[in-house]
Structure 1
Amino acid sequence: MKIAVLPGDGIGPEVTQEAVRVIEALGLGIELKHAPVGGAAYKAYGHPLPPETLEIARASDGVLFGAVGDPDCDSLDRHLRPEQAILGLRKELVLFANLRPAKVFKGLEDHSALRPEVASAIDLLIVRELNGDVYFGEKGFRTTPNGEREGYDIMSYSESEVRRIAHVAFRAAQGRAGRLCSVDKANVLETSQLWRDVVIEVAKEYPDVALSHMYVDNAAMQLVRNPGQFDVVVTGNLFGDILSDQASMCVGSIGMLASASLGERQTDYGTFGLYEPIHGSAPDIAGQGLANPMATILSAAMLLRHSLGQDAAADRVEAAVAKALEDGVLGRDLGGNANTTEIGDAVLERL
């Protein structure tokens, strides 16, 4: 079993190191190969996603990714900025389905921005499409007839793109409570109307899943009003980006949410994917031991489950994280005093 480890920028190397320690402690004989990505890769090789890094990722069974983003690179041409590395990996590795679970761990109810009794009911999965929408559509600047600068980004989805992410979401719902909510803006966007039409068509193949629809503005409201109503949510790239970050604060901290980006490629052990915490590189706290590595450790657990077929090992890691949190081992983002390494130590002790 081979894992490509791409630590990235800012706090990426710190949180990734703790996840690697957990993986190595499992004693599964997994081969780990590190490679630069993001701003670190640009400074060393002149590109945020060097060909060597991409090849290492392709040759692996799964990718453990830290975070990218470096203020030193903000003035670069867009195609050379660190953030293009993750978009490039998703495109080149055909990773179109992003799974972002959000659940309140026991003992963290009071740390949510919501009332404890509301937060405790959160147990949902956001399935976000990754390869389409405004992030990958035609974009640029132009001059209007009256001489003004105008920026534009084209939102678009093909029928096949919607169909394949819908299948992922319906299958996920089958493995959970059997409820799927499709989020769109079909009342004003033709892209969303196509999305809704195709999701309804795919639903005929899954009679055991109850399908509902919700406009994205209402979904954002319901996510803080009554998040317990959601089981699986499927939505496009832009809406999913926003809603999943909102969900992170509903469960207490963005430092707690893991994610998996999957495609159709199968390895000898499972489905190839890229796994990362949903938080950014946080350069303002890098190197100070203030980062919470829990999301990255939980991302490693998702890697073990989905790409390596190691369900028992994934269960162990998740149980160790839950026990550490229940025992009050909290990072600064959750009002605690534990530093990055101490949180990793606590998970290892309980593992």
Structure 2
Amino acid sequence: MTKKILILPGDGIGPEIVAEAEKVLQALRADFGLDVETEQALIGGAATDAEGTSLPEQTLALARQADAVLLGAVGGPRWDALERHLRPERGLLAIRAELGLFGNLRPAILYPQLADASALKPEVVAGLDILIVRELTGGIYFGEPRGIDTVDGVRRGYNTLVYSEPEVERIARLAFDIAGKRQGRVTSVDKANVLEVSELWRETVTRLAGDYPGITLEHMYVDNAAMQLVRAPKQFDVVVTGNMFGDILSDCAAMLTGSIGMLPSASLNESSQGLYEPVHGSAPDIAGQGKANPLATILSLAMLLRYSLGEGVLAERVEGAVGKVLDQGLGTPDIRRPGMREVGTTAMGDAVVAALGEAG
């Protein structure tokens, strides 16, 4: 059966990096029999400019019909002065909520070719392979009430951090299931020493661990987790945490790998429909210059193949092609090291396509 992929180029470097992932997708269709059809739509600032909203109804309708969504990036300073509900990021939050994309998977994998690009010593990060499982549709980013008001002449801003037991159960089960296919270790990150919502989180995760006797569970406060990520990151296998903590820790983990431009992500719902995007932002400062690294987007496509289309063999082929290109000593400006040859966005995408046939 033909699968449907919705492509959302977005803003900044989004259209450039997505175009390279599309070339890989077309090669998989032409040379390896991948049965998919694609459609494009607007989101973020581009949608606000064209439609007056960062998530048009047509985009949302197409996303609901798709088996998977591939996103470039959203946002940029040109939209920062807009009212909050019109800003590009609101469209991203909205599509996550509308599709029920509760689980965000962010791998932090250090390719051996880039070991000396990490901010940490090579021996500390060599062989790094962490997966952060972040709850994506609850927590402080969505909690109500929220807002800015004035009390006794003083302005104040407030947000609500709330998680229900079923929300915690859902993300914890996803983490335990994934850990069973990896090293069998889960670290649950919270702040249970000061937050009641974290007390509930810890109690719920601990209870569910009884259903997974083959998995080792440990708990860690978020401040300690941040320290441990830069002290001894290889102690982690699967890290599961809430929305805000996961947002911060996953970006911290990204820099262990040498460049945020190398890291993909997946956001899944309970039907394995997913939205796939690079971890990095829209990088408006280099948009249109041909400098952007498309590898995180291409690796996001690999995750799309694995988690939403059930094409694990093709996912491994794409990941192998990325490794092959790094073996060839090619690098965009963000990852180029001494002895590597600097290439642009298009040349990097072309190199991955050429390596697909050799990556099996």
Task: Show CA shifts across 1:269-291 (max 9, x none).
Answer: xx210000011111111000111
Q: Give the corresponding residue for 2:344.
A: 339
Where do 1:1-351 residues align within 5 Å? 1-27=3-29, 28-138=34-144, 139-145=146-152, 147-265=153-271, 271-335=272-336, 337-351=342-356
Q: CA RMSD in A?
A: 0.9
Confirm or deny: 8 A CA contact 1:252 1:334 kept in the other structure.
Answer: yes
Confirm or deny: 8 A CA contact 1:255 1:333 kept in the other structure.
Answer: yes
Q: Aligned equivalents of 2:91 and 2:17: distance in 1? A: 18
Task: Note the C-alpha offset of 1:327.
Answer: 1.8
Confirm or deny: 8 A CA contact 1:183 1:234 kept in the other structure.
Answer: yes
Q: Aligned equivalents of 1:174 and 1:252: distance in 2? A: 28
| TM-score, length-scaled by structure 1 | 0.97
Q: Aligned equivalents of 1:137 and 1:290: distance in 2? A: 38
Q: Which runs of 5+ in 2 are unaligned?
A: none
Give the aligned length.
Answer: 345
Letter of the aligned partner of 1:204 in structure 2?
A: G
Q: Which runs of 5+ in 1 are unaligned?
A: 266-270
SS in 1 for 2:176: helix
| TM-score, length-scaled by structure 2 | 0.95
SS in 2 for 1:63: strand
Task: Show CA shifts across 1:28-49 (max 9, x none).
Answer: 1310100011000110011010
SS in 2 for 1:168: helix
Q: Aligned equivalents of 2:171 and 2:321: distance in 1? A: 31
Q: Aligned equivalents of 2:101 and 2:354: distance in 1? A: 34
Task: Show CA shifts across 1:89-139 (max 9, x none).
Answer: 110000000001111112110000010111113111000000111100121
Letter of the aligned partner of 1:287 in structure 2?
A: G
Letter of the aligned partner of 1:10 in structure 2?
A: G
Task: Note the C-alpha offset of 1:148.
Answer: 1.4
Task: Note the C-alpha offset of 1:335.
Answer: 2.8
SS in 1 for 2:273: strand
